[in-house]
Amino acid sequence: MINQLKDKNFLIILSISLISFLIAMFFYVREMKSDIEWLTFEKAKVEAATTGKFIYVNVYSRWDANSRLRYNTLFSNENVTEYFQKDFIPVRFNLDDKNEKAALSKDFGISTSRFDFVADNQGRILSFMSTSTSYENFISMLENLEKLKINELQSLENALSASKQSGKYVMLFVSNYLNDNFFIHELMDNDTNFNFAINNHEVAVAMSYDKSDFEKIKFLADATNENDPLKEYQPLSDNMFSDKRTFSTRPILYILNPEGQLFGKFVMEYDLLKPNIFIEKVEQITKKSN
């Protein structure tokens, strides 16, 4: 009898403790006030096109305690607020709102996401953010993203138009995966490579996981390669964490003439990061075409 009472008391105490903990967590993860001025994606695209800034997209849900905890930890922090106002254009999507959820799917091909992400000034996803709540790590990651020179590269459409005026070949980097963006940055962060590319070519970048870009570059698909990522549109949200991606996740470089005809291409291997290897590889293609 005594043991039964002890067990009953233990369960009562445990239940009260659990309820108290849940109540405390509920109040803890309520959204705190933030001084960040969140925009709609449409307004953000206009501002990004004018300023060249990256777009930061915060995806949240009323019932997602983790997203609210990150919000409270990061976006109420004055260091993050100051950094955002200076260097990024902030956007929020509420997954509880069917219109905003539909807009997220329409704008980015994503129906749900547990991760915030950063898009370039054309609205194309560059990278998803980690779930870290450390504002130092958060700002450090954003600083690394800002160093990406992708914003300095044209769209294929603009590059082809410029090519007809300048007579230069088009150098098109096709990014098949998020990490490709960092590879392209590392390659172009070398001043010799960057100056060679910019001075002698109309340089563009396209992302095969972006529906708009994909429609413009799918004509470059290799008919002999069944795994060519340009044969079929693959939304990023469907495969970003999948092990089933059979094609290379290295970016591919295409060399085109002003009419958009393909002269040559190659997969961007790490050897190209060595001095002058990239330039030699490109010149091999352009010399063959002359």
pLDDT computed for residue 277 by the predictor: 92
Give pTM, 2 decimals. 0.73
Q: What local confidence, expressed as pLDDT, does residue 15 receive?
A: 64
Whether residue 34 lies inside any domain: the answer is no
Instruction: Tell me if 4 is assigned to some domain.
Output: no
% of the chain exceeding 90 in pLDDT:
22
- Counted domains in the chain: 2
CA pair distance 156, 213, nearest whole angstrom: 8
- Whether the Cβ atoms of residue 191 and residue 138 lie closer than 8 Å to each other: no
What is the residue-wise DSSP string for 180-196? Answer: HHHHHHHHHTSHHHHHH
What pLDDT does residue 113 have? 66
Do 104 and 170 lie in one domain? The reply is no
**Residues 213-238, mean pLDDT to the nearest whole number:** 82
Q: Do 115 and 159 belong to one domain?
A: no
| Ranges of H-type helices in the chain | 2-28, 41-51, 65-70, 78-87, 98-108, 135-146, 156-166, 178-188, 191-200, 211-217, 236-239, 277-289
Mean pLDDT of the chain: 80
pLDDT mean over 279-284: 92
Percent of the chain with pLDDT over 70: 80
Write out the residue range of the structural domain in which residue 168 sits: 149-289
- Residue range 69-95: mean pLDDT, rounded: 85
Q: Examine the domain organization and report whether 123 and 174 are in the same domain.
A: no
What is the pLDDT averaged over residues 265-276? 86
Instruction: Average the pLDDT over 232-240 and give the result.
Output: 64
